Amino acid sequence: MAAFPHLLAPATVGGVELRNRVIMPPMGTALGTPEGYFSDRQAAYYGERARGGVALVVTELTAACTAFEDLTGLTRMDDDACIPGLAAVADAVHAAGGLLAVQLTAGQGRNNPSFTPERPPVSASDNPDYWDPTTLCRPLETDEVQALVRSMGEAAARCVAAGVDWIDVHGHTGYLIDQFLGRQWNRRTDQYGGSVENRTRFATEIIQAIKGAAPGVPVSFRLSVDNHVAGGRDVAEAQQIAVLLQEAGLDLLMADDGSYDAMDWVFPPYYLGDACMLPAARAMKQVLSIPVMAVGNLTPETAEAALAAGDADFVGIGRGLIADPEWVDKLATGRRLDVRPCIRCNQMCIGNEFAGAPLGCAVNPEAGQELTLSITPADTARHVVVVGAGPAGLEAARVAGLRGHRVDVYDQADHLGGVLWPAASPEFKRELRSMVDWWARQLADLPVTVHLGTRIDATSPELADADEIVVATGSVPFAPPVPGLDGPNVVDALAVHEGATVGRRVVVAGGGLSGADLALELAIEGHEVTIVEMADDIARDMLFLNKLPLVRQLAEHGVRVLTGHTVTEVDAAGLTAAGPDGPVRVDADTVVAAFGVRPATGLAEALAGRPGVRAVGDCVTPAKVGEAVNAGYLAGLAV
């Protein structure tokens, strides 16, 4: 406990005692019922995080009123029929020793993708809809605003009836309440528009309505301190708003940044670094006497430091608790190195939500599947051989070892992690590389033996007595038939990550995610970098909200990007590419080949027909880390 004394210290908010300073902030799960009720899956999911030691679990966005918007896909509390499902969630969280809060929303407003010409989106003013800027929102009438205020109070009363301990108000990321707060969205002339006080009135009346309907229950508010868009809210105005919220009776402020117009700040990927939103909490602490919660890419160390420095009173650990529900308990019991890192990829948590799929996790396949996935002892211990020590192979070995099998892992490289190890060399991918260290630590305590520097083929004696074989041989670089690609000035992207020397001027041939990330890494190091990509965009398979900071940082570091250009020839002085306006010459000291990869199918094909052989990961279909880890997990369960 000495290592994280501030994180693990108890505290009291609004008369309610919390067992530590760690709060799980709201995150969408899409695990509710089709009717919008809380489900058994959510009870299991939230209960697991409470069991792991977090003090307060805050549910996902929950609609208090559906009279003015189609809020399909959200959980809701606009009817008494919603109470039993939420009560089951509260019971699960309480049984695990935690407290439960519900985050209530008054609506999505211009952020709502679900509208029709007959029922257009609503907002504070006639703002363009975020998803379809050609559609203007219908400004809410004054009496409709007041009806929403009443609905928030009524929903809070239903939450209390279900056994909820706390109410959180969704006031950030440019949703409806934020559209009233923001001067860029609020052009009203009634009592809810104009001055900061008037624009905050909707929020303060909601706080007061909740306080009246749920007396004695703490109320928190999530506020985006800096919208990170031109004409948006700045820190000084956010401080004025926060003081008004405090005067209305608020018990705790959750401080973050961003809006849908600056989506990467809402769900900060690895490019934004550690503790990227801590300045927002620090600014709120300067003017408030109530507690403040910090969020945004916090590690155990940065969270402890923020509390110790007085920059925040609580920390919100969101995706970190998806990745490892035992985040708190592991710190409390001296197991910091056993905390499974969140790699900040947004791939299967936020990405699934935007795709309309239930929550998942790239590094924790059990997230959202608590009722159906668990690692149980095997009926019979067997000998399992895993060929390949990349993400899929390591996860398969971990799960098989936990089930009691004797596992041997073989890899021809001299390190664990496969291509993940060198590819995660940039500082901004530090958490991704730390996954390899995590696997190494987990395997060390299991009946798993790792053999590095060992090449395996179909006739290798190491396979002779294997009951089960997991083939996780990964992928190999793709080399198109381009003249000069075998020249001495050409280096494969993976070799660059492994330390190959490159010149001052570098052209990266291939603008997929690996090529674009490498270009950014080289530019940060001071190289003059050009990306040449045959498609009309770079990093096309990348989640759009992750791509925003990548593109921005490439521009900030002066990376030249040529899309719609196909490399036709490489020579000692650079390369030539065919573009829409004809040939283009790019002079460079080094050409980096980043044309993508192909599955390494050789071993799987050679073992075809042998019983007990499973191929997983990139050797089946090259994909992202999450797909490999989840496939490896299922392979480990199957053996």
In sequence order, which residues have a C-beta less than 8 Å from that of residue 151 and are 6 or more positions away?
64, 65, 67, 78, 106
pLDDT digits (tens, 9 = 90+) for 101-144: 999 999 999 999 999 888 999 999 999 999 999 999 999 999 99
Asked whether residue 124 is assigned to any structural domain, the reply reads: no
**How far, in Å, CA of 273 to CA of 427, rounded?**
9
Which of 336, 354, 372 is the C-terminal boundary of a domain?
354
Q: Are residues 590 and 605 in the same domain?
A: no
**Considering 306, 335, 354, which residue would you say is the last residue of a domain?**
354
Q: Which ranges of 468-571 would DSSP assign to H, the alpha helix?
A: 493-497, 513-524, 544-556
Distance CA 238, CA 280 (A): 9
Rounded Cα distance between 558 and 128, Å, is 33
User: Residues 209, 336: one domain?
Assistant: yes
pLDDT value for 427 = 84
- Contact between 502 and 491 (Cβ < 8 Å): yes
Residues 248 and 168 placed together within one structural domain of the fold: yes
Tell me if 294 is assigned to some domain.
Answer: yes
- Euclidean distance between CA atoms 434 and 130, whole angstroms: 36
Domain range holding 572? 490-595
Do residues 622 and 583 share a domain?
no
Mean per-residue pLDDT over the chain, rounded: 96
CA 180, CA 182: separation in Å to the nearest integer?
6
Residue 92 shares a structural domain with residue 220: yes
The count of residues in the chain is: 639
Q: Which long-range contacts (CB under 8 A, 24 or more apart) does 183-186 make?
A: 183/231, 183/233, 183/237, 184/227, 184/229, 184/231, 184/232, 184/233, 185/110, 185/123, 185/124, 185/125, 185/127, 186/124, 186/125
| Cα distance between residue 342 and residue 229, in whole Å | 27
Q: CATH number for the domain including 398?
A: 3.40.50.720
CATH number of the domain bearing residue 511 = 3.50.50.60
Under the banding of pLDDT at 50, 70 and 90, the label for residue 1 is: very low
Pairing, β 505-509 against β 590-593 = parallel
Please indicate, yes or no, whether residues 534 and 590 belong to a single structural domain of this protein: yes
Please give the distance of CA 457 from its chain centroid, rounded to a whole number: 38
Contacts 24+ apart (CB under 8 A), 16-21: 16/99, 16/165, 16/166, 16/218, 18/55, 18/56, 18/99, 18/314, 19/53, 19/55, 19/97, 19/98, 20/53, 20/54, 20/55, 20/328, 20/332, 21/55, 21/307, 21/313, 21/314, 21/315
Residues 259, 236 within the same domain? yes
User: Taking 60 as the threshold, does the pLDDT of residue 502 lie above it?
Assistant: yes
Helices (H), 251-409: 263-266, 278-285, 300-308, 319-323, 327-332, 350-354, 391-402
Residue 104: the pLDDT is 98
What distance lies between CA 53 and its chain's CA centroid? 21
Percent of all residues in the chain with a pLDDT value above 70, rounded to a whole number: 100
Q: What is the pLDDT of residue 421?
A: 86
**Residue 126 included in any domain:** no
Q: What is the mean pLDDT of residues 244-270?
A: 94
Residue 2 pLDDT: 60
pTM score, whole prediction: 0.94
Domain count, the chain: 3
Q: What are the catalytic residues?
A: 175
If asked whether residues 174 and 313 sit together in one domain, one would say yes
My answer on whether 164 and 237 are in the same domain is yes
Confidence of residue 605 (pLDDT cuts 50, 70, 90): very high
- Is residue 129, in this structure, part of any structural domain at all? no
Say if 496 falls within a structural domain: yes
Q: What is the mean pLDDT of residues 42-63?
A: 98
417-454 pLDDT, tens digit each:
998 888 888 888 888 889 999 999 999 999 999 999 99
Angstrom distance (rounded) from CA 128 to CA 137: 6
Alpha-carbon span 46 to 165, nearest angstrom: 14
Which range among 158-162, 354-358, 542-546 has the greatest average pLDDT? Answer: 158-162
Q: What is the CATH number of the domain that holds 52?
A: 3.20.20.70
Same domain, 388 and 462: yes
Task: Say whether both 587 and 624 belong to one domain.
Answer: no
Rounded to whole angstroms, the Cα distance separating 207 from 205 reads 5
Q: Tell me which of 562, 578, 595 is where a domain ends.
A: 595
Q: Is residue 402 part of a domain?
A: yes
Q: Are residues 161 and 90 in the same domain?
A: yes
**Is the residue at 471 inside a domain?**
yes
Q: Is 506 left (phi over 0), alpha (psi -120 to 50) or beta?
A: beta
Give domain status of residue 459, yes or no.
yes
